[in-house]
């Protein structure tokens, strides 16, 4: 994948995550605030002040996630973002992380 293709795909993915979190907030599923600065998306859980940060790493062609439970790297494989360590998928993992940090059942699609 070229750098431009990666950057376009990463941008689309970050937008999708942000839109999903905003929708869940609007539907009163979870109380979050998203802030975006370039390739960094910060998701803050209002009730406890914890954060999940998702950012793209163009040189590595990866998306990185930092959460209370740790840091995770995702590489594009077969049309999905896959964790380089345990093979989990990005949106499924973010759903679990957001559920744990936000105190409500969250499903990102």
The pTM for the full model equals 0.92
Give mean pLDDT, residues 82-105.
Answer: 95
Give mean pLDDT, residues 75-90.
Answer: 96
Strand partners, 80: 77
Helix (H, G, I), strand (E, B) or coil at 105: coil
DSSP letters spanning 33-99: EEEEETTEEEEEETTT--EEEEEEETTTTEEEEEETTEEEEEEEETTEEEETTT--BHHHHHHHHHH
Task: Compute the mean pLDDT over every residue in the chain, rounded to the nearest whole number.
Answer: 95
- pLDDT tens for residues 9-43? 999 999 999 999 999 999 988 999 999 999 999 99
Is pLDDT of 72 > 80? yes
The pLDDT score that the predictor gives to residue 109 is 72
CA 71 centroid distance within chain:
12
């Amino acid at each position: 994948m070229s750098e431009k293709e990666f950057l376009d795909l990463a941008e689309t993915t970050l937008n999708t995550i942000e839109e999903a979190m905003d929708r869940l907030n609007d539907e009163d599923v979870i109380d979050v605030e998203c802030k975006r600065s370039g390739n960094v998306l910060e998701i803050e859980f209002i009730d406890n002040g914890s954060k999940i940060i998702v950012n793209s790493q163009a040189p590595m062609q990866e998306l990185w996630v930092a959460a209370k439970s740790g840091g995770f790297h995702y590489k594009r494989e077969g049309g999905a973002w896959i964790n380089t360590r345990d093979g989990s998928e990005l949106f499924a993992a973010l759903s679990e992380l957001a559920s744990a940090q936000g105190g409500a059942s969250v499903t990102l699609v």
